[in-house]
Amino acid sequence: MNQSGSSVSGAVHVEGSKCFDRMTTIGLTGALTGNDISLASMSVGGQVLTLTGSTSGIGNAFAGTYTISGGCANGDHGTVAGNAVGVIRGTLDGTFTTSGGETFDMAGSINPGSNGYASASSEGSFEISGTANFGTSCFGSGKIVAGTFPSGSFMIGTSVVLTIQTDNGTFIFNGTETDPGGLSEIRGEYTVTGGTCDQSGTALINDDP
């Protein structure tokens, strides 16, 4: 979300809906009057999403209601609540478990953006870059390839994607930050392709800013 005077704009992605594709970026525009905010989306498949509620300022908690008019989800309505999510940064440590039950560790550092600054893309994602080292004989060092949704390494909401180019294949991690208001614990799944140790499994990564 971005604010310029009383004008507000932003981008959202909808997950878990039969009427919206999570890959589609939905633009929002609206106005902030005091603590009250109103936002309306562009038409997506004939559907227009409207949000109204209150906030103590852009970047803080939002609470209100939503309605959808037109298209597949016409007439859908309910409540909505949102919280600010910090972009991960600092040092990383992780434990990876292969589908065969073996484990190995990872340690690295991460920056929000290739230049160390966090700024949202037009799709609402935040670029991530950095380095990683793995405690396994399959691959050692790796570069966290900077990118924005839907490719490279980025954060969008609580979803984290890391694309790491190692010395023996490409490592892709997809995870979710489980406690965005506290310690940055990210749980998810990974795959490695293009080397001599192609594999997949689960992972737990901790971020210490």
Q: pLDDT of 125-154, one tens digit each?
A: 999 999 999 999 998 889 999 999 999 999
Q: pLDDT of 152-185, one tens digit each?
A: 999 998 899 999 999 999 999 999 988 755 557 8
pTM, 2 dp: 0.84
Burial class of residue 15 (count of CB atoms within 10 Å of its CB; 0-12, 13-18, 19+): exposed
User: Which of 49-58, 64-73, 141-150 shows the lowest mean pLDDT across its residues?
Assistant: 49-58
One-letter amino acid for residue 147 of the chain: G
Strand ordering across the sheet containing 48-55: 2-4, 7-12, 26-33, 36-41, 48-55, 62-69, 77-82
Domains plus CATH for the chain? 2-82 (no CATH), 90-208 (2.40.128)
Q: pLDDT of 85-126, one tens digit each?
A: 878 888 999 999 999 999 999 999 988 766 556 678 888 899
Please give the torsion angle defined by the CA atoms of residues 148, 154, 198 and 205, in that order, rounded to the nearest 10 degrees.
180
